[in-house]
Structures are given as structure tokens and as C-alpha cells.
Amino acid sequence: MMRISMSLPKKLLADFDEVLKNRGYQSRSKGIRDALQDYIVRYQWMNEMEGDRIGIITIIYDHYYSGVMENLAEIQHQFREEITTSMHIHMTDKYCMEIIVVNGDINEIKELTEKMMRLKGVEHVKLTSTANGKEFSDPEHSHPHYY
């Protein structure tokens, strides 16, 4: 730990101490550390780092179609860095649904989506994504929809 000393307006310190008291903080230093951490996180959130997104890809495919399951598995293994988890739903006798949670560079996520979309036997692919929290979310562009 580093020790620093600082000058603060009396009113600011009084207001801060009041908040700490209300929140049950025993230590002013701890309160200041937490406040600094909040400040840093808030800045990082707003400081957009191009292309880092979290999202969901939904796929519906005909599991009787020859090779489609193997192809989907192979493609997903290529993008395992971007894939957080996936869920398989046996939707009907013929159709399966997969829900894939992705997190990472949007260019990679788009490539994954498009590769799966090109597969024969795949009938529906949809990607929705939003800022993954490491960047500022522009309200105009935080919910793009592909297909």
C-alpha cells in the first residue's frame, strides 16, 4: 500500500464522511479506495474500446441434415476463445436450437455467426450483442441485430 496525503474542501469531506457513515464504513481509507475504484470503472466503461461485445447467437437447424452437427461443432471449436457457453434444446423431432453466449471482438463473433449461417441444414441464425462492459455503450448502437 502507498500512503498519500491530499487536500479536500471541507464540505466535500463532510459529505463523503456522511455517505461512509450511512453505508457503515469503519474506515475512511477504505471508502476512498472504493470511491477511486468506482471512478476508474466508470471511466473504463465510457472509454470505448472498439469492437468488444457480449452477445447471444441463436441457431435453429435440422439435425437430420447430414454433417450439420459435426460442422457446427467444428466451427464452434475454432471460436472457443469467443464462446463463453452454449445450450442445446431439442426443439422438435426434426429441429434443434442452440444458444451460444459470445464475448470478445465483434469481428470474430460476426465471422462465427456467418460461418454457421452458411451451413446447409441451418435454417435460422440470429446474433444480438451489446457492449460487454469494458467499453462505453452508445445508446444508438448498443443493440445491433443481425438477421
Q: What is the DSSP-derived secondary structure letter of residue 52?
A: E
The one segment of 53-61, 75-83, 84-92, 132-140 that binds Ni ion by CB under 5 A: 84-92
Is-contact 130 77, C-beta < 8 A? Answer: no
Rg of the chain, C-alpha, whole Å: 23
Using rule CB under 5 A, residue 59 touches Ni ion = no
CB of 99: closest distance to Ni ion in angstroms?
Answer: 12
Binding of residue 90 to Ni ion (CB under 5 A): yes
User: CA of 76: how far to CAs of 16, 52, 68, 85, 144, in Å?
Assistant: 49, 19, 12, 10, 22
Q: Which of residues 91-110 bind Ni ion (CB under 5 A)?
A: 96
Closest CB to Ni ion among 68 and 109?
Answer: 68
Q: Which residue is nearest to Ni ion (CB)?
A: 96
Q: Which residues bind Ni ion (CB under 5 A)?
A: 90, 96
